[in-house]
């Protein structure tokens, strides 16, 4: 180890929900020797990066938080983005993570040192705008590496001819330019996903006009909910069991929603009827309603929640273009249907590099093989958490760890609990995933996913890796099923240890 290296038991990369959740789990397990590395100037992940107008969660707020840190102060059924960012900051402070959190510290490389049985991380230095100013300024060596970088970190920018020559402001929804003069401007929005349905109503209130380019229409159901009163919040403070009951009810509702999202015929038909009625009620123009009607099965793509998107699109303030963006010629957007639209600014609500995780290029396991190479045909793992060929590595919110029906925080908590349990088994040994266990788990996922709407619904979604046609982002089951699957992992997913490494209790060694 070099003189400038920091040595810890666990290095966590990322300080969003996953990284903070892992830190909480380690502390609860009595493991205090860890560091949380964050490339940005503050923690918060997705909820730090997304500051676009109207940004909010589409999971009920009292389910979108850590079980160990209930928040009686949420403003309403669905929390606003800034609230969630503040919540994560409060949780980090309550957990005393300040001296373990290293901000402006991007991981530039992570390499497994087989001779010494440690991960060696090259950590750079970034400025307040997340720009790299020094590469490899310091080294962190860790027995265990936890990748908690999330799946919605790197914006997907379309390769559209002429886009780089657009003369006005152009930016991705997750990199919102608050200095751009959008009030009174003609604004183009590309995409009609989860971010766009929140952005468009907000822009419609201030822009002179919004032109919305839609490649495919989303299924949208009523959002509902509302604000919590001062009396509600006071009751949650005075009676913690009321919050526990509410969280349990929301959890049950989410688990029940899995059927309609995954493709149960009766449940999907009922939910689709709700979505169609919502569209018919809010959009009276037949032609516009037809353009906003999806041509794929309910649940194939992420089902969206909104009460104000359809009214905005129906208003004179918005023009819907039911075609993808084909080219940009100066300040003119050329749609795939041949129509041309002049705009002053352009917002790209075009999603993220979700199935090809950017960090995968930076992580080298045994034999110098990168995660990107290992995942060249789509992400694979055992337990959605550990990967063959990458000893003592845990990936949170990675392969098959997302949900289409409930809170992703629930999955993070289960993964972190599994990681802590496995670390107890580890002793002083090295955890090496049996490739056969990874192949078996991948086959389980494929079998469970085969009949779901994500695979058979006739759409192109970001849950499926186009290179292999496998479902690689979503867990094709309920949270209860995921918890039960991890509970069945008894250590036999790891290879027997060598003579230098004590065998894992409960393993097949």
**Separation between Cα atoms, residue 32 and residue 231, nearest integer Å:** 39
**Separation between Cα atoms, residue 431 and residue 422, nearest integer Å:** 9
pLDDT of 150-168, one tens digit each?
Answer: 888 889 999 999 999 999 9
pLDDT band at 2 (very low <50, low <70, confident <90, very high): very low
* Domains and their CATH numbers in the chain: 6-154+353-487 (3.50.50.60), 163-219+264-348 (3.50.50.60)
| One-character DSSP codes across 411-430 | HHHHHHHHHHHHHHHHTTS-
Helix (H, G, I), strand (E, B) or coil at 51: coil
pLDDT band at 131 (very low <50, low <70, confident <90, very high): low
pLDDT band at 500 (very low <50, low <70, confident <90, very high): very low
pLDDT band at 1 (very low <50, low <70, confident <90, very high): very low
Quick count: other Cβ atoms within 10 Å of Cβ 469? 12
% of the chain surpassing 70 pLDDT: 95
Helix (H, G, I), strand (E, B) or coil at 8: strand
pLDDT of 243-298, one tens digit each?
Answer: 999 999 999 999 999 999 998 999 999 999 999 999 999 999 999 999 999 999 99
**Separation between Cα atoms, residue 231 and residue 237, nearest integer Å:** 10
Write the CA distances from 377 to 183, 356, 392, 466, integer angstroms: 44, 10, 23, 9
Write the CA distances from 235 to 22, 72, 230, 232, 249, integer angstroms: 30, 8, 9, 5, 17
pLDDT exceeds 50 at position 509: no
**Separation between Cα atoms, residue 487 and residue 135, nearest integer Å:** 41
pLDDT attached to residue 296: 97
**Separation between Cα atoms, residue 269 and residue 291, nearest integer Å:** 20
Helix (H) or strand (E) holding 442: helix 435-449
pLDDT attached to residue 429: 86
Angle formed by the axes of helices 17-28 and 81-94, nearest 10°: 20
Q: Which residue shows structure tokens 């860790």?
A: 142
pLDDT of 430-486, one tens digit each?
Answer: 999 999 999 999 999 999 999 999 999 999 998 999 999 999 999 999 999 999 999
**Separation between Cα atoms, residue 337 and residue 353, nearest integer Å:** 26
pLDDT band at 133 (very low <50, low <70, confident <90, very high): low
pLDDT attached to residue 76: 97
Quick count: other Cβ atoms within 10 Å of Cβ 218? 22
% of the chain surpassing 90 pLDDT: 90
CB neighbour class for 99 (10 Å; exposed up to 12, middle 13-18, buried from 19)? exposed
Closest by CA position to 47, among listed 95, 106, 94, 89: 89
| One-character DSSP codes across 234-290 | HHHHH-HHHHHHHHHHHHHHHHHHHHHHHT-HHHHHHHHHHHHHHHHHH---HHHHH
pLDDT attached to residue 4: 67
pLDDT exceeds 50 at position 3: no
Region 358-367: mean pLDDT is 95
pLDDT of 105-116, one tens digit each?
Answer: 999 999 999 999
| One-character DSSP codes across 133-149 | EEEEEEEEEEEEEEE--
pLDDT attached to residue 358: 86
Write the CA distances from 95 to 30, 89, 101, integer angstroms: 13, 10, 11
Is pLDDT larger for residue 422 or for residue 352?
Answer: 422
Helix (H, G, I), strand (E, B) or coil at 448: helix
pLDDT attached to residue 352: 86
pLDDT attached to residue 153: 82
Token pair of 109, please?
A: 């490389």
Is-above-0.85 flag for pTM? yes
Computed on alpha carbons and rounded to an integer, the radius of gyration of the chain in Å comes to: 23
Inter-residue contact 54 to 206 (CB < 8 Å): no
Over 463-503, what HEC string results? CEECCCCEECCECCCCHHHHHHHHHCCCCCCECCCCCCCCC
pLDDT of 20-40, one tens digit each?
Answer: 999 999 999 999 999 999 999
Find the angle CA(234)-CA(239)-CA(242) to the nearest 5 degrees.
100
User: Rounded mean pLDDT of the chain?
Assistant: 94
- Residue 321 sits at φ, ψ, to 5 deg, of -110, 105
pLDDT band at 128 (very low <50, low <70, confident <90, very high): low
pLDDT of 290-336, one tens digit each?
Answer: 999 999 999 999 999 999 999 999 999 999 999 999 999 999 999 99
């Amino acid at each position: 180890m070099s003189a400038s290296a920091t040595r810890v038991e666990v290095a966590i990369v990322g300080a969003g929900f996953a990284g903070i959740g892992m830190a909480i789990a380690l502390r609860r397990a009595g493991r205090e020797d860890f560091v949380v590395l964050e490339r940005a100037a503050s923690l918060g992940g997705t909820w730090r990066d997304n500051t676009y107008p109207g940004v909010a969660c589409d999971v009920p707020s009292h389910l979108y938080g850590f079980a160990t840190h209930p928040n009686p102060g949420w403003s309403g059924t669905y929390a606003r983005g800034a609230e969630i960012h503040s919540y994560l900051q409060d949780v980090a402070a309550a957990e005393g993570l300040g001296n373990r959190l290293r901000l402006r510290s991007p991981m530039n490389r992570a390499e497994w040192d087989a001779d010494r049985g440690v991960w060696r991380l090259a950590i750079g230095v970034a400025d307040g705008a997340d720009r790299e100013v020094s590469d490899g300024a310091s080294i962190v060596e860790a027995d265990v590496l936890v990748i908690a970088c999330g799946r919605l970190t790197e914006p997907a920018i379309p390769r559209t001819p002429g886009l780089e020559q657009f003369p006005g402001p152009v930016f991705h929804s997750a990199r919102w330019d608050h200095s751009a003069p959008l009030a009174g401007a003609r604004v183009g929005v590309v995409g009609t996903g989860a971010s766009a349905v929140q952005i468009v109503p907000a822009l419609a209130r201030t822009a002179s006009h919004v032109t919305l380019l839609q490649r495919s229409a989303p299924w949208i159901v009523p959002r509902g909910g509302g604000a919590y009163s001062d009396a509600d919040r006071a009751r949650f403070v005075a009676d913690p069991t009321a919050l526990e009951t509410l969280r349990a009810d929301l959890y049950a509702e989410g688990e029940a929603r899995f059927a309609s999202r995954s493709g149960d015929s009766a449940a999907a038909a009922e939910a689709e009827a709700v979505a169609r009625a919502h569209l018919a009620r809010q959009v009276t123009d037949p032609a516009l309603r037809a353009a906003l009607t999806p041509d794929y099965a309910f649940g194939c793509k992420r089902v969206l929640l909104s009460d104000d998107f359809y009214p905005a699109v129906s208003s004179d303030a918005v023009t819907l273009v039911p075609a993808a963006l084909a080219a940009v010629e100066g300040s003119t957007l050329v749609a795939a249907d041949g129509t041309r639209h002049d705009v002053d600014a352009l917002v790209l609500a075009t999603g993220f590099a979700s199935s090809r995780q950017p960090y995968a290029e930076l992580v080298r396991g045994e034999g110098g093989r990168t995660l990107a190479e290992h995942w060249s045909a789509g992400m694979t793992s055992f337990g959605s958490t550990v990967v063959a060929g990458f000893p003592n590595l845990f990936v949170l919110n990675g392969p098959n760890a997302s949900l289409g029906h409930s809170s992703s925080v629930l999955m993070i908590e289960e993964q972190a609990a599994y990681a802590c349990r496995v670390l107890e088994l580890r002793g002083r040994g090295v955890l090496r995933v049996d490739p056969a266990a990874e192949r078996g788990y991948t086959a389980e996922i494929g079998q469970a996913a085969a009949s779901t709407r994500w695979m058979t619904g006739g759409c192109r979604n970001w849950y499926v890796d186009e290179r292999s046609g496998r479902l690689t982002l979503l867990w094709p089951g309920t949270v209860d099923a995921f918890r039960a699957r991890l509970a069945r992992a008894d250590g036999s997913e790891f290879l027997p240890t060598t003579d230098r490494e004590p065998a894992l209790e409960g393993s097949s060694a």
